[in-house]
Chain A
Amino acid sequence: MEEMEILKKLEKVKAPPDFEQKVMAELSLRRRSRLRRRLGLQLSLAGAVASLLVGFVLWNFVVIGKRNPLGISPAGREWTDSAAAGPISGSGRTLPIIETLDYSLEVRNRGQAPQAVYLLEQVSDKTPKGVRF
């Protein structure tokens, strides 16, 4: 065990005199950089959430706004688009209301129904495939 006793004789060292100051300076530096990093993280998170929100709102305007909730035929949509963009009355924009009607059914049941005269007005240059005169 003698060599273990001699281990105790190994030179002992002390911390340098400015050790505490250096530790405290390093500590305040690290605290500041941690704070900055945390702030940066929070800001980038907030930015990501905000851009997601803006993206969602834009998508709503562009994609959902273009969708036709009434299911108007392409020919009818062309007409409504031009009408919606075109005539503007004195009080504001005029919105055309289109009521769809299945003429083929009307004509097919002609025999049973009382005599009637149908006046078919063409609303588009293109002939819808579903309508038979």
Chain B
Amino acid sequence: MDEQELMRLVKEGDEEAFARIVGAYKDRIVNYLYQFSGDYQKAVELAQETFIRVFFKAGQYRPLAPLSSWIYAIASNLARTEMKKSRRQQIVSLEEVAAHEFASSAYSQDPPSSGLLENLREALRSLHPRYRIPVVLKDLEGFSQDEIAEILKKPVGTIKARISRGRGILRKKLEKATAGSGGGIF
């Protein structure tokens, strides 16, 4: 059964079809939201909310665009909203931080981050969402610029400019971070 057929069933309230969509996209969405937020627990919560919205907004889905673009669009909007919210409340308890660190490392595939990767993650986290989302979608999720334009509902030219600017900022931040620690970038 293809995705369009599954979505047709989800529109009718079929939970089995919905479960299949969740199964197919859960890892990609959780990973995308993790790369965006840098917080595994938050990424899982946002991914859950993303899929709940997929179910309730299934009626709004038009099969003109691929299903993945639509799901990523919902996830991106949620991530942006969450980002704005968390900017307002920055207070986090130490227990919460420890729990997030543990949960994050529990399912990660790679060995613990090296200094460079840590710098990279920090630079990515400090990037404005306007640039971070297109950069993550392009360089981590492998979407084309046209697909990103479709996901973010922006012209392709704007997306190109944002990716280029985002990469530039990222490069500068990395150079600054590595210069500060006394080593070369690569």
Listed in ascending order, the chain A residues whose CB lies under 8 Å from chain B are 2-4, 6-16, 19-20, 22-24, 26-28, 30
B139-A8 in contact (CB<8A): yes
Complex alpha-carbon distance, A107 and B103, angstroms: 109
Binding site for A on B (CB under 8 A): 15, 18-19, 22-23, 26-27, 29-31, 34-35, 40, 43-44, 47-48, 51-52, 55-56, 103-104, 106-110, 113, 116-117, 120-121, 124, 135, 139-140, 167, 170-171, 174, 185-186
- Residues of A near B52 (CB, < 8 A) are 23, 26-27, 30
Interface of chain B, helix or strand or loop or mixed? helix
Could you say which residues of chain A place their CB within 8 Å of the CB of B55?
A: 27
Q: What is the interface of chain A mostly: helix, strand, loop, or mixed?
A: helix
A19 and B30 within 8 A (CB): yes
Contact between chains at B18 and A27 (CB < 8 Å) = yes
Assess whether B51 is in contact with A10, with CB atoms less than 8 Å apart. no
A27 cross-chain contacts in B, Cβ below 8 A: 15, 18, 51-52, 55
Given A8-B139, A13-B31, A13-B104: A19 and B171 interface contact (C-beta under 8 Å)? no
> Given A3-B174, A27-B52, A30-B52: A11 and B26 within 8 A (CB)?
no
